[in-house]
Amino acid sequence: MKCSMKDRKFLSVVVAAVVVIAGMVFVLSADDDTSSDDAHYIEFFFYDNHINDIYVTDNPASGLAKNKNIANGVWVKGYGETKIDCFKDACGSYGIQVTVSEDGTITSLNGITDGNFHQMGWIYNGWSATITLTSDETYPIRFMAIGHGAGSATGNPPVPWQGPDDIRWYYGESAEKGNGTAVLFYFYDSYENDPTSASSSDLSKFVAEGYWVAGYGDLVHEAFKDACAKLGKYLGYNDLTGEIFRIGDVNSDIHSLNWNGTSWIKCNISSVPLTSDTYIAVGHGPTTYTGIPPAPWETPDDIVWSL
């Protein structure tokens, strides 16, 4: 499943090294998110952060309207001659309705009209609120964060939790497709089954916010390895048994589930038949006492973008 987008020229390079030992496959990869487009562009991080809701003076108990479509954060590239033009283009690509004035004031974003929008630009390895859609810089701004949420007691915007170094994908911009059939994988992290005595903060994080990645291959497990390569994650996987025993820094409580058209069910990646509409969720987190893995909080119907 792919999103439609204006025809543009993109370049994304994935380098992967694969070692096979006794049926066990290890994948190590790296990404190069370099665009070959010479047009003016800005990469926007859209996010929703309600850490400062307590400072909302009109009705602190109710907080702000949460924007679930950008709640986990998403990078979108926008093109144009000005920062406002780039912003409007990025919103259009992602399907966000936006109202922004010539002075850069955002009054509506994706149906939210409470005015709690914040703008920041990336400079000197950090986010700066002095860089806005209309600020005048003598250097090109390539990264901006557009956030929603209350400001702090001193008026500071809620901090984005990602920076340019965290970019692994762009909306509508895919790594090289490769050969075979596409399988969409949903990678997620869930601690809903943690015992009350445990703390998820003590556990290694996998991909806490969750995201979709397309992998290609003639078999599902081949597509899985391709998807992990695009993530830039070290993978420990046994072709013969279908066991996933490491992804990145995580080496326990990893689960795979297959979408059967109505729900997620446990599966073995090596035994799932490959079709044109195969969806696999790969999750990290404790199971229930009966061995049921933590459920993904997205389904194929929720896909808005993917790598």
Q: What is the DSSP string of 129-196?
A: TT--TT---SS---EEEEEES---TTSPPPPPS--GGG---BTTB-----SSEEEEEEEEE--TT--T
Using the 3D structure, point to which of 116, 131, 166 is the last residue of a domain: 166
Contact 277, 303 (CB under 8 A): no
Considering the domain architecture, whether residues 130 and 278 belong to the same structural domain is answered as no
Whether residues 189 and 289 fall in one domain = yes
Give residue 200's pLDDT.
52
Give yes or no for a contact between 25 and 19, defined as CB atoms under 8 angstroms apart.
yes
Rg over alpha carbons for the chain, rounded to the nearest Å, is: 21
Whether 20 shows a pLDDT value over 70: the answer reads no
Q: For residue 204, what are the domain limits?
A: 13-33+170-302
CB-neighbour burial class of residue 65 (10 A; exposed 0-12, middle 13-18, buried 19+): middle
**Residue 177 has what pLDDT?**
61
End-to-end, the C-alpha distance of the chain in Å comes to 11
The closest alpha carbon to 170, from 234, 98, 230, 108, belongs to: 230
Q: What is the H or E stretch that residue 85 is in?
A: helix 83-94
> Given this model, what pLDDT does residue 267 score?
94
Residue with tokens 């002075």, as numbered in its chain: 103
Q: What is the pLDDT of residue 62?
A: 59
pLDDT for res 102: 94
Residue predicted with more confidence, 227 or 127: 127
Give the 3-state secondary structure of residue 255. Answer: strand
The pairing of beta strand 181-189 with beta strand 211-217 = antiparallel
The last residue of one of the domains, among 112, 132, 166, is 166
Do 264 and 291 have their domain in common?
yes
What Å distances lie between residue 6 and 83, 87, 131, CA to CA? 19, 15, 28
Is the domain of 61 the same as that of 150? yes
* Mean pLDDT score of the chain: 77
Structure tokens at 40: 């003016």
The tens digit of pLDDT for each residue in 249-298 reads: 888 889 999 999 999 999 999 999 998 889 999 998 888 889 899 888 88
4 falls within a domain: no
64 and 112 in a common domain = yes
181-189: strand order across its sheet:
211-217, 181-189, 279-284, 254-259, 264-266
> Based on the domain organization, do 58 and 91 belong to the same domain?
yes
The answer to the question of residue 209 being in a domain is: yes
Cβ atoms of 22 and 1 within 8 Å: the answer is no
The better pLDDT of the pair 59, 51 is held by: 51
Does residue 206 lie within any of the structural domains? yes
- Residue 209: predicted pLDDT: 63
Residues 215 and 68 reside in one and the same domain: no
pLDDT, greater one: 31 or 266:
266
What's the whole-number mean pLDDT along residues 79-108?
Answer: 91
Identify whether 8 is part of a domain.
Answer: no
Integer Cα distance of 18 and 281 in angstroms: 22
Given a contact cutoff of 8 angstroms between Cβ atoms, the answer to whether 249 and 287 are in contact is no
Predicted pLDDT at 6: 28
Percent of the chain with pLDDT over 70: 74
Give the model's pLDDT for residue 231: 73
User: Is residue 284, in this structure, part of any structural domain at all?
Assistant: yes
Nearest C-alpha neighbor of 16 from the set 200, 184, 172, 234: 234
The DSSP annotation for 10-63 comes to ---EEEEEEEEETTEEEEEEEEE------S-EEEEEEEE--TTGGG-SS-TTT-
* Spatial distance between the Cα atoms of 85 and 184, rounded to a whole number of angstroms: 32
Decide which of 127, 144, 166 is a domain's last residue.
166
- 2 in a structural domain: no
Q: Are residues 298 and 175 in the same domain?
A: yes
- For residues 214 and 268, state if they share a domain: yes
Which H or E run includes 266?
A: strand 264-266
* 295 lies in some domain: yes
> What mean pLDDT do residues 90-98 have?
85
Confidence of residue 42 (pLDDT cuts 50, 70, 90): very high
160 and 193 belong to one structural domain: no
Does some domain include residue 264? yes
pLDDT of residue 307: 53
117 with 233, same domain: the answer is no
User: What is the pTM for the complete model shown?
Assistant: 0.54
Tell me, yes or no, whether 265 and 156 share the same domain.
Answer: no
What's the number of domains the chain is made of? Answer: 2
